[in-house]
Amino acid sequence: MFVKSVSLQHYRNYETMELDTNNNVNIFVGRNAQGKTNLLESIFVLALTKSHRTAKDRELIAWDKDHTLLQAAVERKYGTYNLELNISKQGKKAKLNGLEQKKLSNFIGSLNVVMFAPEDLEIVKGGPSVRRRFLDMEIGQVHPGYLYHLQQYQKVLVQRNNLLKQMWNDRSSAHMQMLEVWNEQLVEHGVKIVKKRKHYLKKLQVWAERIHAGITNGQEQLAISYVPSLALDEDNEAVLFEQFMIKLSQMNDQEIRRGITLVGPHRDDLAFSINGKEVQTYGSQGQQRTTALSLKLAEIEFMHEEIGEYPVLLLDDVLSELDSYRQTQLIETFQEKVQTFITTTGIESIHAHRLQDANVFHVENGQVRR
């Protein structure tokens, strides 16, 4: 997978920008707040139709404009794909090779990316919501149908929580019947989400363990485990459905008292351990960084295994955050097999001499020059 060119219009601090990225490695150098991260973010947005930095699409549009237009030419093993995403106050419109896509899920997956930024350390150190977002974004790229079930689940969850709040004072038969309807819809989509997450983590675990052992010269063994709010060990969807429904029934009184849904994939988590010790609490900063790095490198291999192509790698000011050894490990992983976009405040902060066939661009105040 290879991004040949990127074009932006009214995107954050870019009025217009057209960039030839026809190299294996593209490095963007500049001071902070000049637009380097915005460039990488735009590629991420073209892949997932949403930002990794904000949930508000309005923030992607230049200050006094009413829309932003993002375009890219992406070379894949089956040909070249021309991607176009228009974001306005009215919503998003996506085109693939000039044809408008009725569903964004039909557009997602045309470009696959792995983003690695300093804040990704929060996948290890942060709260469960960060880890769930990590899962959802990565699975959604290779299985766009997953995003449909996730969106439907979230909609049902909001409706169900609203009903639970009403039932604190009114447990009428009509409300109880409506709760049963929401339960069935919640479970229908929730089971699909849990199954995909378990499948993803099973494969990610294999790659992450192997990569982590290599980085630590076999001194550390990384383990990743799924921590669901509801223990569902079966793979049969009918059995999972029944187990989930029974659990909701058991939690009925407690959920009504609290006015929220207490079980389901919206409350699931991940756990990381090294040599049997939990990383989030007991791991050193170096171990936490290595865990995050292992996860990101494992994502690359997972995507290659799932779709038969390597994704595009986006490194946002992250090489300078790694010590010499970890930086070398990362560079050797992507060198010559993964197209990579790198941002940095200074070329001297990275092992540039290890980067072959690299384009170097200078970014200043929303202007990019080679």
**What tokens appear for 203 in the block?**
């494969």
Helix (H) or strand (E) holding 176: helix 173-215
Residues facing residue 222 across a β-bridge: 274
**What tokens appear for 250 in the block?**
């058991």
SS3 content of the chain, % helix, strand, coil (to 5): 50, 25, 25
Is 32 a known ligand-binding residue? Answer: yes
Phi/psi at 269 (5° precision): -150, 170
Amino acid at 96: L
Is 35 a known ligand-binding residue? Answer: yes
Is 33 a known ligand-binding residue? Answer: yes
Residues facing residue 125 across a β-bridge: none
Query: How far is Cα 125 from Cα 127, in angstroms, rounded to an integer?
Result: 7
Helix (H) or strand (E) holding 197: helix 173-215
Is 31 a known ligand-binding residue? Answer: yes
Is 30 a known ligand-binding residue? Answer: yes
Buried (b) or exposed (e) across 231-257, using 16+ Cβ within 10 A? ebeeeeeeebbebbbebbeeeeeebbe
Query: How far is Cα 363 from Cα 347, in angstroms, rounded to an integer?
Result: 13
| Nearest Cα residue to 221 out of 229, 211, 232, 213 | 213
For 25-69, what is the HEC assignment? Answer: EEEEECCCCCCHHHHHHHHHHHHHCCCCCCCCHHHHECCCCCEEE
Half-sphere exposure of 315 (CA within 13 A, CB side): 28
Cα Rg of the chain (Å, integer): 22
Output the CA torsion 221→227→231→233 (10° steps): -40
Binding-site sequence positions: 30-37
Binding-site sequence positions for ATP: 30-37
